[in-house]
Structure formats: structure tokens, C-alpha cells
Amino acid sequence: MSLDLAALRQVQRHALSAGAVAVEVFGEALDGVRAEVSRGKVLSQEPRSAERVVVRCWGAQGGVAEVSGTLVQVLAAISGTIAAADASPPNPSSGPERLNRQLRPLSLDDPRWLAMSPRDRVDLAVEAERAARRTSDVVEVLPFRWEDGRVWRGVVNSRELAQEEWGTELSLWASARLAGGQVLTRHASSRTFSTMASLPVGALLVRAASELSQLPDVTLPSSVICAVPPHCSAALVDLLAQGITTSSRGLWGWASRELVSLDANLHLLDDGTLPSGLRSRSFDERGVPPIPVVLMQGGRLASALLGVEEARARGLSPTGHREGGVVRPRNLALKAGSRSLSANLSLLSEPHLFLEHLAGLDQVDHQVGLLDLRATGWWVEGGRRVGRVLGVPLRGTVRGVFSEVGALASDTDRVGHVDAPALILRGWSGAS
């Protein structure tokens, strides 16, 4: 990789010599492979790489400007960035961060990476695809996609801050097609090869697809209760956290964030210090170590994720969540219940939809909170799976679905960056 602390210090020295009063430089670089596998063979494999450098310069009057790009691009743009900083209004809450507490290493760098060839790493996807094909002969297993990367991150500034770390990231996308043409997918991510090898993502997907293929289609009623297993509820937990961290005014139909009131059993924690967490990092792109933050307690909004400037303006500590130019959640954990999903369902006498997949969660307007999704899963009556739905409309609102949660189960899985329990959620509509 071309990036290291020496390269970041070179950018810092260049900016200071060009007239910047203070400078902060963050860099990250990735090396890895992406591949597609099918029927036990590698169809394609290519290297993947990325490089991003972010430079913040402070001018003589206290204004700040930033530029991002490759190392070559930011070096060429330093003079213009300093001129923009000189022309910007002063911000008393701005300025580089000083590390004032012991840094705890949090990023996970699997030592096997350096001992494995790219083909060795892709073999994890090959084995997952083979296991999926062995699971059923009535489902068409589509090509699986694999991506991996070893990431270097570093940050330096003119207040003598200098930090760096390495970390590994592995991702697998499994796909299968039912006889009617409906495609199901599942995604798994991990920081280590041992964890990724233990996740039967392909086999679970094909088993679900096989069960769905043997049932008749049903039409959802106007009012729907959903049983949501962890691999689906994780996306809903992430949806809650995204709304909390990105909406600055009204949220989910409430006039202000202070009025938000969901089910009293909802307790949501953001913990960027979680061991082996997918988004655990020793520092964010401002050099700030993460701290755990309670986002929701008893269904009410609690603490907020704070960047450096916002935290200083409030007289608080930044929480270490700035990545990719924005403040975003790290590892999320929704507090689980004390009874399993099976036990909760045994107490549920009404027919319900047991979900396998939800699509459309990435298009939610958090200020309005409308959920216009596509659902795939089993229709359950009297404890038996009697029918299926494949990509049918499922509608609701964040406010309606989460204001009265039927159950928070004890079944919890780590799905990506979310520790998610199974849920029973009312308030859905199967309107055509």
C-alpha cells in the first residue's frame, strides 16, 4: 500500500509550509479481492483496492476547509483548501483533536491473512456454495459473490496526534432462485476467517428457499402480524439507529425528536468498543476513540452520537463515530427478551407472517417514517406453515410498528454490525 503514517505526515508538512495554521490528515487504504463462484469453481477473481485521504486545514482567522481524494489529489489541492479555510468564518468549536486518554486497540486483523493467498481466501466462498448445493436439489443455487480486504487506517495532526491500525473485512453474498423465478439472497460479514467459515449462510438460504418452494401462494390480509428472525430484525434495528443519527428535526412523524415515544421495552446501544464487532475501530477519522452510547432507553431517545465540533459546542466529549465524512452508528445491540421466539409464537393464537426477507429498508424517509417494503416468508396458521408470500407489498410506519412490540425474543444473532433479537411486530398492512 502507498499509504502509511509517513505519507500522512508528508501531507501535513506540506500544508503547514503552505500557510495552514493547523492540519489534520486521515487516510485509509484497502487491498483485497472480489470473486464470483458457482458449482464449486471460481468464475472470476480480480483484485480490489481503494485509497482515501481526508485533509482538514485551519486558516489564520479560525476557519476550516477540507478536501478528500487520493494522496496525489489532496497534495495537489492543498493550496486551494487553505485559501478556502482563510475565507471561511471562524468556528470556536473547531480545531484538531488531542488524544487525552489511553488508546485501546479495537480493530481486528486476522493473522491468517498474510499466510493465505487470494485463492485460499476465495475458497471460503467455494465451500459455502458447495454446502448450499448439497442442501437441496429443488432450488437453483445462483453464483455466490465474495469480497475481502485488509484495511490500513491512520490519522495525524499538528497537535502531535499519530495513530494507525490494521483490520480485515470479509463478505459473502449467497443467492438462490425458486422455481417461479423469485430470487432470495443473504449476506454475511465478519472480521475473521474462522467466524466466516462457521456461518452456514448458503445452506440456511437454500433450506429456506426449498421450504418456500413447496407451499402455495397466499394473499396477505389488511392487518398483518410479523414474526421477524434475527437475520431480518437486524435491518430494522439498523433502520432505527439511522433515523436517530441522521434526522436533525422531526423524526418518524413526530414534530420533534424530544416527542419520540416507542415501545417501552426498546433499549438500543451503540458500542464501537465491542470485541470483534464489524465496525469496531480504535479511532474515527478525527482520531477520536469510540465510546458506548445509549441511543434509546425505554422507547425514548437518549444520548446522541457527537462529532468533535458539536461535542465541544455542548461542552461534552466526542463519541468517535465520524466515518466517510458523516457521523454514523458503529456496532448496535437491541436488548433481548427472556423468552425464545418459539415460546413467544406458541402463545400467539393469530395467524402471522414469518419473514425470510425484507426489501426496501434502504429507501425509508426517517422524518416521515413510512415503510413501503417487499416481504418474502411463510404464512402461519395454527402453528403450521400453510402458505408463502414472495416479494409482496408490506406496509407500515416506524411509529406504528415499534410503538407496540408484540415480543422481544431471547434468540439473538450478530448480523453484520448488529446484535439483533427476534421480534414479533404488529402494525403492518398487507394492502395490495
Instruction: Please say if the pLDDT value at position 104 is more than 80.
Output: no
**Lowest-confidence range among 47-51, 228-232, 273-277, 419-423?**
273-277
pLDDT, residue 1, reads 46
With bands split at pLDDT 50, 70 and 90, how would you rate the model's confidence at 166?
A: very high
In tens, the pLDDT along 326-359 reads 899 999 999 999 999 999 999 999 999 999 999 9
**pTM recorded for the entire structure:** 0.93
In tens, the pLDDT along 299-308 reads 999 999 999 9
Closest CA to 208 of 355, 337, 335: 355
Cα torsion through 408, 411, 414, 419, rounded to 10 = 20
Question: Within 13 Å and on the Cβ side, how many CA atoms surround 113?
Answer: 18
C-alpha cell at 419: 446484535
* CATH value of 5-213 in 3.40.50.10140, 3.10.180.10, 3.30.2420.10, 3.30.2290.10: 3.30.2290.10
pLDDT, residue 159, reads 92
What's the rounded mean pLDDT across residues 361-371? 87
What's the rounded mean pLDDT across residues 21-49? 97
What's the rounded mean pLDDT across residues 124-132? 96
C-alpha cell at 91: 468556528
CATH 3.30.2290.10 residue window(s) in the chain: 5-213
**Separation of alpha carbons 64 and 13, rounded Å:** 17
Residue of higher predicted confidence among 362 and 204: 204
**Separation of alpha carbons 399 and 263, rounded Å:** 9
Q: What percent of the chain has pLDDT over 70?
A: 98
Mean pLDDT, all residues of the chain: 93
Closest CA to 32 of 132, 121, 115, 158: 121
In tens, the pLDDT along 281-297 reads 999 999 999 999 999 99
Closest CA to 228 of 364, 382, 401: 401
HEC per residue, 255-282: CCHHHCCCCCCCCEEECCCCCCCCCCCC
Q: Over the range 340-365, which residues count as b (16 or more CB within 10 Å of their CB) and which as e?
A: ebeebbeeeeebbbbbbbbeeeeebe
**Separation of alpha carbons 2 and 154, rounded Å:** 12
pLDDT, residue 431, reads 64
Q: Are 260 and 301 in contact (CB under 8 A)?
A: yes
Instruction: Please say if the pLDDT value at position 65 is more than 80.
Output: yes
H or E, element range at 33: strand 22-38
With bands split at pLDDT 50, 70 and 90, how would you rate the model's confidence at 74?
A: very high
What's the rounded mean pLDDT across residues 377-385? 95
